Amino acid sequence: MTSGTRIIQILALGFALLLPSFSYAQPKDECPKRLGIVINDRLSNYIATILSGIYEDLGCPIELIDLPGRRGFVAFNNGRIDGELFRLPVGAAHYTKPYVRSDIPLIAVTSSLWGMPGSKLHSDDTIGYTIGIAWQEDYLNKNMLRKSGHNDVDDIIQHYNSGTFDRFLAEDSTIDLMITEGTFAKDRIPVRIELLEDGPLYHFLAAEFAPFMERFSNYLSEHQPFAKNGMM
C-alpha cells in the first residue's frame, strides 16, 4: 500500500467519523428568528415560556414580537415575522404566503360566549371581544351582532365589570383562571352561555422553515412539554 493511498483512507475515515455531528447540527440560516405573539394575552404568555424553552433546546433562540391579533397575519404575510406562536386552523386562511404547521397541536382549547347569570343567548345587547382574534370577529360578523372591540381580555373584563356590556367572547381557561383569581366584581362573576370553539392550537411557520418544523414536531411527540406543564 502506498503512502498516498493510506493518506486518502485516513482522510475518508476522519470524514466518516464527523458525519453524525453534521447530521445533528442545526444550520443557523434554518432557524426561525422572530415569532408573533398576541399582545397582553395570558394564554399566549404561558405558552411562550414553554415554546421558548423548546426552541433553545433545538439550538434556535427566538425573539417574540408583540402584536394585536390580526396584525399577526399582516406581519407574517409581509415577512416581518417568521411564524406565529399558535393559531386555530381556521386562522391559517388569512395567510397569503406558504406555511407549515406542527404535526401535532400544542394544546386543545375551548372558547365561549360568557355573560352575566341569566343572560340570554339570543339578544341584541352588545358583546365585548378582542380585536384581531379571527374566530371572534367571524362569529360576530356572521351573526351581525352589536360589538365592542378591545385590545386584550383585561380591557374587556374592565369594561364588563363597569357594566359597559353584559356578554363577551373569550378563551375558557383564561376566564376560569380570572374567576379563581377574583378578577371579576362579586356581583358580575360570568357564566358560560354557549361553547363556540373547541379545537387545537398549532404552531405555524413560513414554508422555508419546514426542516425545522419537522424537528420541532418530533420534539413535541417525544417530550410532550405542554402535557408535562398541565396544558393538555
Alpha-carbon distance of 101 to 87, in angstroms, equals: 9
% residues pLDDT > 90 (the chain): 65
Burial 164-180 (b: 16+ CB within 10 A, else e): ebbbbbbbbbbbeebee
**Domains, the chain, ordered by start:** 28-107+199-228 (3.40.190.10), 109-198 (3.40.190.10)
Alpha-carbon distance of 210 to 82, in angstroms, equals: 12
Look up cell 422572530; give the residue: 34
**pLDDT of 171-208, one tens digit each?**
998 999 899 999 999 999 999 999 998 889 999 999 99
**pLDDT of 42-72, one tens digit each?**
888 889 999 999 999 999 999 999 988 778 9
